[in-house]
Amino acid sequence: MLAETIAYATSYFATPEPFRRHINEAVGLWSRGRRQAHAWGPHAGETSRSITALIDRLPAHRTVVVLGSGPLFDVPVEALAARFGRVILVDRAHLSPTRQRTRNLANVRHDWRDLSTATTADPLGFLLAIPDLDWVISVNLASQLGVDAPFGQERRVIEAHLADLSRLPCPVTVVTDISFRTVDRAGREHERFDLMHGHPMPDPARTWHWEVAPHGEENRVTRREHVVAFYPDWREASRQKA
């Protein structure tokens, strides 16, 4: 608890006042990620490697924006900073441990924003005002927007985010968990849930599993495992779906 208390306290005054209410949730995510570093490691590594492998394919390396950057467990911020002139990390919370990691990366900027259409008009409109924008990456954000949406608006919020991404005038990469299931120690499935809330997703380039909650994290009976989908070129994937 001491680490969590310190993270909260050292993040509070560095956070713009409208976003301070999100610090507690962000500390909880950061704490779980540290606690479950072994279980989350394969997912974090797969995400980071998948993003890093795309860097050299970009025709220009001026500005990259990461939407839903969070605690940076799965974001290769050092690799991005080494190749791009500017890296903009966007989320509702940027905790002090995250800013500590990037403090020596002079071309990295933290931007506090609410990216949900449920609470913000045109939440991705700010991207159009960023000069020299060469790449946008949405990292485990689409499903989280659904989790945070008002009841009954989950699918609409997810669809709006993905549609806004497909209209951006630069390359866009999407990483998102699309479903989860809970399994007991005998391998019996107890629950399966569509994190896209019925929104049909195109075939991803690749998928992998993320053990979000091993046995004992949420309860002693089941563990929760997510399926993560990777779309290196979201616009092209969207066209195929259409």
Average of per-residue pLDDT across 192-202: 97
Give the position of tokens 């896209």: 196
Percent of the chain residues past pLDDT 70, beyond the cut: 99
The model scores a pTM over 0.85: yes
The pLDDT, as a whole number, for residue 228 is: 98
Which residues make Cβ contacts (< 8 Å) with residue 31, sequence separation at least 6? 3, 4, 7
The pLDDT, as a whole number, for residue 242 is: 47
pLDDT tens, position by position, 81-119: 999 999 999 999 999 999 999 999 999 999 999 999 989
Nearest CA to 67 among 118, 129, 112, 8? 112
Average of per-residue pLDDT across 158-162: 97
pLDDT tens, position by position, 29-86: 999 999 999 999 999 999 999 999 999 999 999 999 999 999 999 999 999 999 999 9
Q: At residue 133, does pLDDT exceed 90?
A: yes
Phi then psi dihedrals of residue 22, to 5 deg: -90, -5
Cβ atoms of 171 and 208 within 8 Å: the answer is: no
Confidence of residue 1 (pLDDT cuts 50, 70, 90): confident
